[in-house]
Amino acid sequence: MTAEHRGEHATIDGTVSEGGVTVVQNADQRGLAAAAARELVRTVTKIQREQSGVHGDGVARIVLTGGGVGIQTLRELAVLDHAATTAAEDFPIDAIDWSRVLIFFGDERFVPAGDSERNEKQARDALLDHIAIPAENIVSYLAPTGAGPSDGAELDEAARDYEEKLARLAPQGFDVHLLGMGPEGHINSLFPHTPELLEATGEVVAVRDCPKPPPERVSLTISAVNRAAQVWLLVSGAEKAEAAQQVANGGNGAQWPGAIVAGVERTVLWVDEAASPWLAESASDSATVAATEDAENAEN
């Protein structure tokens, strides 16, 4: 199911207006992850087949996200990749050429390399260690050299280092930026009511006092996210329904950071039914309006 959103109301008509958000609804988190994974395979293989992408070189630049549904999507992608490479004749999806994919991360917890809290570690366990991707195609954040709290200098260096990597490897932005979202609307490590983060200039920002542990993180900025051709928000669960609705309806970005991200070409909100009861309400409202207009026209 897809839905276009203009202003405060949604119409489920399968089209997308300029600057709109496409909503794709699935029954549950696994269905959402499987559908998003399939669409990502199609997107990447199309870029490779047509020698296109934001840089026009046939290399897909993809930003991964952590979180439950983000990591589930990577697991589903690993399943698809295995099927496409081992049963190509019987499988209806092309295999990705991982030598022509660059992997980035939307944010990273500033904890030691290999720590289970790191998004990269979780992504490796779910996908990256199970596919034929060159090590240099995985663009990592620097990790602290010690196990204890940093003095801030290493955190700043990690942000500068990643910004330099982006300038070298993705100067024109990304093809797809995957995003998870918290119940309060945070994306990457950009939380509500943090203007120093939400309005940060540049591509990467050091986060020193994140309200969700661990406190030190490195994150792509809103401006970096919005340079992606496509931004996909992966949202599952009833506790995130209000945040998802705010994204769909263009809510206040200071309160709901997910509402101010937008792909250059396309913004997609992937939801499960638990996270999108408002879709049924919007459809009901639209049907009521249409019925009223039909009745008025009949009277005239």
Query: In the chain, what are the domain boundaries?
Result: 19-280
Query: Secondary structure of the chain: what % helix, strand, coil (to 5)?
Result: 40, 20, 40
In angstroms, rounded to a whole number, what is the distance separating the alpha carbons of residues 162 and 220? 9
72-85: average pLDDT: 94
Sheet holding 217-220, edge to edge: 107-109, 217-220, 204-207
Q: How confident is the model over 183-194, as pLDDT tens digits?
A: 999 999 999 999
- Res 163: pLDDT: 98
Examine the pLDDT at 290 and tell me if it is beyond 70: no
- Res 152: pLDDT: 87
Helices (H), the chain: 29-50, 68-86, 119-126, 153-169, 195-198, 222-225, 241-248, 277-299
Examine the pLDDT at 43 and tell me if it is beyond 70: yes
In three-state secondary structure terms, 135 is helix
In angstroms, rounded to a whole number, what is the distance separating the alpha carbons of residues 72 and 125? 11
CA dihedral (13, 234, 255, 267) in degrees, to 10, reads -50
For domain 19-280, the CATH class is: alpha beta
Dihedral (CA of 129, 133, 135, 136) sign: negative
291 φ/ψ sector (left φ>0, alpha ψ -120 to 50, else beta): alpha
In angstroms, rounded to a whole number, what is the distance separating the alpha carbons of residues 238 and 244? 10
In angstroms, rounded to a whole number, what is the distance separating the alpha carbons of residues 263 and 188? 15
Examine the pLDDT at 245 and tell me if it is beyond 50: yes
Q: How confident is the model over 229-238, as pLDDT tens digits?
A: 999 999 999 9
Q: How many CB atoms lie within 10 A of CB 201?
A: 7
- Res 282: pLDDT: 67
- Backbone angles phi and psi of 108, in degrees to 5: -150, 140
Q: How confident is the model over 258-288, as pLDDT tens digits?
A: 999 999 999 999 999 999 999 987 654 443 3
Predicted TM-score of the model (pTM): 0.88
Mean pLDDT of the chain: 88
CB 178 within 8 A of CB 106: yes
DSSP codes of every residue in 152-208: SHHHHHHHHHHHHHHHHH-TT--SEEEE---TT--BTTB-TT-HHHHT--SSEEEES
Examine the pLDDT at 18 and tell me if it is beyond 80: no
Examine the pLDDT at 168 and tell me if it is beyond 70: yes
